[in-house]
Amino acid sequence: MLVLARHHMLVMTQHNMLVLARHNKLVLAPKMVRVMPTPNEKLAESLDALKALQEGGRRVFRSDDLSRVHRERLVENGFLQEVIKGWLISASPGARAGDSTPWYASFWEFCALYGAERFGDEWHLSAEESLWLHGEKTVIPGQIVVCSPKGANHLLKLLYGTSLYDLKVPDMPPAPNLVMREGLRLFSPAASLVGVGETFFARNPVESQVVLASLADESDLLRLLLDGGNSTKAGYLAGAFRRIGRPELAEEIVRAMKRAGYDVRESDPFEAAQTFGRPRPGAAPIAGRLEMMWQATRDTVIKNFPKAPGLPKDSGAYLQNVDEIYLSDAYHSLSIEGYSVTPDLIEKVRGGGWNSERNERDRKDHDALAARGYWQAFNVVKESVSKVLGGANPGALARAEHKEWYGELFQPFVTAGVFRASDLAGYRNNAVYLRTSHYAPPRWEAVRDAMPAFFDLLEKESEPSVRAVLGHWLFGYIHPYPDGNGRMARFLMNVMLASGGYPWTLIRVRDRNAYLAALDRASIDMDIKPFTTLIAQRVRWALEKHDLKFPDQAEKWDFDREVVLFFGQDGDNRVRCAISREALDDDFRGDGRDKVEVFKENRAAIEQGARQKYAAGDTETDGSILIHSGELKPRAARK
């Protein structure tokens, strides 16, 4: 059917074409149909709007920075999270429920923007909070106090148990007493020291001593003390300077105050045990902090760690043991980081069966890339261990070679096009945050000062146990790289352990929660004992030279667990061992066959696998051994 219209009218034909009628002459034209965007296209449009806001690393936004449609769509899909009404932060759709990382990553930026929005230029953080930040204390506080003449003494509850209290104060401090740092208005270091009370020093000895050490001289401090007539403060600040080994500043403070007519009595605000070495005057705060943390914790390590056995006489045998432990070490170290790797994948990589150029699936497999990188890094770290066994200074060697370890760890990602080569150049240049932890690593600007100071400490340290434990902890504390810091810290630990003749030691994936909790305890509370104890337990196991033998050949099939049970003997200790049905099927072609018979045919390979897992401490919670699918496939293939 055709509807004809005259004088430039549009008509519709049965073929759903638009027809232009011009003086009874029909001209066909393409159909003009409006196509509605798909949900994915709508989300992409909203993400474009968010990306424009995130330029320069911004993570915190006002609600009116986005249209209502974009805002609601991004919140619904997990790309934004509401903090309080009118305020949003960037989030990750893949984050687990209750994951506090996006909030902790945005905490200080939120405080800075909220303070500016509420109070304009008339606000600042307290002297206590200012001194914490100047002292490079980066733990996210439970509550932040914002001081302002416009304050209302109001508590604002924020995410994950944090809060902001706006404290009403009579006046703003003089402008010279304030400094800006990443949008936060802080008291200057000198004004912070004058502003806190005497008890603050004993409650926060590291931060106090870091800031005291960072002052070039007493000038700024003296101006504040003299203007305020603070003779009592002058007395305990003089005592604090004397405690950290700067007596010339202490004496000048007392002399200047007395010349001005004040009676000053010097006193020490720190407790007897709160001396953490002699920080270098004028050192970068993060460098001073690392030095003090090292001195404050090293004795605890020495008291709770087994004595070093000394460099081995047979370095070849030591390195062979490192080779044998690779499979377990790679599995546990990668699994702690959250990669879904299997022993089969790890051995495929080691055996050359993984190739990103020939296999498109391998190229795209993130876990395979991580496994390949671990294998490459493991080999260059083993070369570093060999040099340490030959007498090289372990700290100096780590300083020279750790970047090569890191490069090998992520080289497969560059080959596959996941990373650019420039991504592996140098240390990080942005902020990083640890999942669910209140501890936030130092600002990226501080990393450049932190790493030389860290390696200085490693080089000077005489105790191998201290190098291993504090080296691992503080490498992770600094977090110098965007990714891979945990694997790098465990590599570093084992190079330092080798310097004392301790065996290569793995951290089991089932110890992950205790391991991360112990690291948190060290970084937040400066309590190194839990972490020392955990590492010491693993080292003691490795030192005991466990040798599993198999005199009893009474293997049997366990129908409930679907495993073949067999037993080993370690001295007087009987060790239950098992190999799963899947392992017998996959690794020894046991499909459709009697599993006990398959075990008997491959007894030597299976017992050797159990022996190596046991020697590495790769046991179940009850001390037994369970062999999974993929762990023995290479041995079966060789057989």
User: Do 124 and 83 belong together in one domain?
Assistant: no
Tokens for 478?
A: 């600094």
Q: Is residue 11 part of a domain?
A: no
User: Do 89 and 124 belong together in one domain?
Assistant: no
Helices (H) and strands (E) in the chain, counts: 25, 16
Q: Is residue 32 part of a domain?
A: no
Residue 351: per-residue pLDDT = 59
CATH assignment at residue 461: 1.10.3290.10
User: Do 345 and 328 belong together in one domain?
Assistant: yes
Closest by CA to 136, choosing from 6, 29, 279, is 279
User: Do 146 and 173 belong together in one domain?
Assistant: yes
Kindly tell me if the per-residue pLDDT of 279 is higher than 80. Answer: no
User: Do 56 and 139 belong together in one domain?
Assistant: no
pTM of the full structure: 0.82
Residue 425 — pLDDT band, cuts 50, 70, 90? confident
Q: Is residue 14 part of a domain?
A: no
Among candidate residues 84, 99, 114, the one where a domain is terminated: 99
Kindly tell me if the per-residue pLDDT of 15 is higher than 60. Answer: no
User: Do 566 and 504 belong together in one domain?
Assistant: no
Kindly tell me if the per-residue pLDDT of 139 is higher than 60. Answer: yes
Q: Is residue 292 part of a domain?
A: yes
| Section 289-293 average pLDDT | 94
Give the chain's mean pLDDT: 88
Residue 16: per-residue pLDDT = 40
pLDDT in tens, 502-547: 999 999 888 999 999 999 999 999 999 999 999 999 999 888 878 8
| Section 144-162 average pLDDT | 96
Among candidate residues 222, 252, 282, the one where a domain is terminated: 282
Residue 9: per-residue pLDDT = 39
**Angstrom distance (rounded) from CA 617 to CA 508:** 8
**Angstrom distance (rounded) from CA 522 to CA 533:** 12
pLDDT in tens, 445-476: 999 999 999 999 999 999 999 999 999 999 99
Q: Is residue 31 part of a domain?
A: no
**Angstrom distance (rounded) from CA 54 to CA 73:** 17
Domain range holding 360? 287-424+442-543
User: Do 488 and 612 belong together in one domain?
Assistant: no
User: Do 388 and 412 belong together in one domain?
Assistant: yes
**Angstrom distance (rounded) from CA 443 to CA 445:** 5
- Burial of residue 8 (CB within 10 Å: 0-12, 13-18, 19+) is exposed
User: Do 585 and 504 belong together in one domain?
Assistant: no
User: Do 278 and 311 belong together in one domain?
Assistant: no
pLDDT in tens, 46-69: 988 998 898 878 999 999 999 999
Kindly tell me if the per-residue pLDDT of 301 is higher than 70. Answer: yes
CATH assignment at residue 576: 3.30.160.140
Among candidate residues 257, 282, 307, the one where a domain is terminated: 282
Q: Is residue 175 part of a domain?
A: yes
User: Do 83 and 156 belong together in one domain?
Assistant: no
User: Do 276 and 130 belong together in one domain?
Assistant: yes
Question: What percent of the chain has pLDDT above 70?
Answer: 89
Q: Is residue 429 part of a domain?
A: no
| Alpha helices, H only, 27-92 | 39-53, 68-76
| Section 122-144 average pLDDT | 95
Number of domains the chain contains: 4
Residue 555: per-residue pLDDT = 94
Q: Is residue 23 part of a domain?
A: no
Residue 103 — pLDDT band, cuts 50, 70, 90? very high
